[in-house]
């Protein structure tokens, strides 16, 4: 009864007209800035944090939550349309979302991302409300061994998601680990592989890496031949799903929501791990795994649902 009374009180506060307005403004601004390639939720929160300074504490938290959720969703738009993910968890969406856009199904991909995000966010919010105390104990029970297992899971997921040669995928994992070592060691405070370059003391950020891997490569490919440029994205004419697309995306979105809700509870897991894990799960469960990477709608529905569900449940360790 205490839980229900607390939920009822919290719902009453959240549904006040002023707080609804702040939530709407936060979600709108978060989406608009989150669409910008390479910005992401963290940078969006940092940019928009000053506008909450003069607000009451409750309204400020509600607005920041709206900003965070809007930015989490906004990254999928550029991932689908121009193959440039807005943040880390949208990287997986580029694999099938951009392929769908090239096939003239960009509207369906955007609708899948929007509907999946809304469904996952709603379910995860209810999940937090009902199971918050239990999930908190799970989050606090994680130690170094569990974190190491999560890291190994992420590396294994990278191999599973790889297209083509597995040795090349493993080699790229080691390249990624080497890049991740650059910066300041959190235990000793010593610089690693910075070569006395002050700019490398904070490590190599996600934004320059993703702009180099996705943005610059797309520009160069676009300039290569006129034939390739003609095979670009078709005009978006239909912002909805067909019955068959609903049938394919629905179960994937549900599985992504459940997986993301659980992984978001884990400190340090977050939306990125949830998106990669959901995509890997769908690929394993699919009757035709070869469709993934070539425009499979499940490859958009599952990770987009997972990362938005994880964005909600990550408020528990926060």
Structure-model confidence comparison of residues 172 and 134, the more confident one: 172
**pLDDT tens-place string over residues 44-61:** 787 788 888 888 888 888
Where do the structural domains in the chain lie, given as residue ranges?
Answer: 95-313
Question: Mean pLDDT over all residues of the chain?
Answer: 79
Beta carbons of 76 and 90 less than 8 angstroms apart: yes
**pLDDT tens-place string over residues 269-287:** 677 778 888 888 888 888 8
**pLDDT tens-place string over residues 292-301:** 888 888 889 8
Question: What is the CA 296 to chain-centroid distance, rounded?
Answer: 18
Count CB-CB contacts under 10 A for residue 42. 13
**pLDDT tens-place string over residues 191-242:** 888 888 887 888 887 667 766 776 677 677 767 765 554 445 566 667 778 8
Beta carbons of 307 and 271 less than 8 angstroms apart: yes
Residue that has been written with the tokens 């580029």 in this structure: 94
1 band by pLDDT with thresholds 50, 70 and 90:
low
C-alpha count within 13 angstroms, C-beta hemisphere, residue 37? 19
| Residue 271 CB contacts under 8 Å (≥ 6 apart), including other chains | 41, 72, 88, 89, 260, 264, 306, 307, 308, 310, 311, 314
Beta carbons of 216 and 81 less than 8 angstroms apart: no
Confidence (pLDDT) at 215: 66
Structure-model confidence comparison of residues 115 and 289, the more confident one: 115
| Residue 153 CB contacts under 8 Å (≥ 6 apart), including other chains | 273, 277
Q: Model pTM?
A: 0.73
């Amino acid at each position: 009864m205490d839980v229900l009374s607390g939920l009822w009180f919290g719902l009453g506060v959240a549904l006040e007209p002023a707080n609804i307005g702040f939530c709407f403004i936060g979600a709108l601004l978060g989406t608009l800035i989150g669409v910008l390639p390479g910005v992401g939720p963290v940078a969006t929160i940092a940019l928009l944090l000053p506008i909450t300074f003069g607000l009451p504490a409750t309204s400020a938290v509600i607005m920041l939550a709206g900003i965070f959720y809007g930015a989490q969703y906004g990254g999928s738009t550029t991932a689908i349309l121009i193959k440039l993910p807005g943040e880390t968890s949208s990287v997986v969406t580029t694999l099938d979302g951009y392929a769908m856009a090239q096939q003239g199904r960009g509207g369906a991909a955007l609708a899948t991302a929007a509907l999946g995000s809304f469904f996952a966010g709603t379910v995860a919010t209810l999940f937090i409300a009902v199971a918050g105390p239990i999930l908190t104990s799970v989050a606090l029970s994680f130690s170094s061994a569990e974190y190491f297992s999560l890291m190994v899971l992420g590396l294994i997921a990278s191999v599973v998601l790889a297209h083509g040669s597995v040795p090349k995928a493993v080699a790229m994992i080691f390249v990624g680990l080497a890049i991740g070592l650059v910066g300041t060691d959190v235990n000793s405070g010593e610089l690693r592989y910075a070569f006395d370059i002050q700019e490398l003391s904070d490590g190599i950020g996600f934004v320059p890496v993703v702009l180099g891997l996705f943005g610059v490569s797309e520009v160069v490919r676009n300039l290569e031949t006129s034939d390739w440029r003609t095979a670009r994205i078709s005009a978006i004419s239909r912002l909805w799903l067909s019955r068959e697309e609903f049938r394919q995306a629905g179960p994937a979105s549900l599985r992504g929501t459940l997986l993301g809700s659980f992984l978001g509870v884990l400190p340090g897991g977050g939306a990125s791990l949830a998106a990669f894990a959901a995509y890997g799960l769908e690929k394993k469960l699919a009757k035709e795994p070869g469709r993934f990477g070539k425009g499979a709608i499940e490859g958009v529905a599952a990770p987009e649902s997972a990362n938005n569900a994880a964005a909600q449940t990550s408020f528990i360790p926060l």
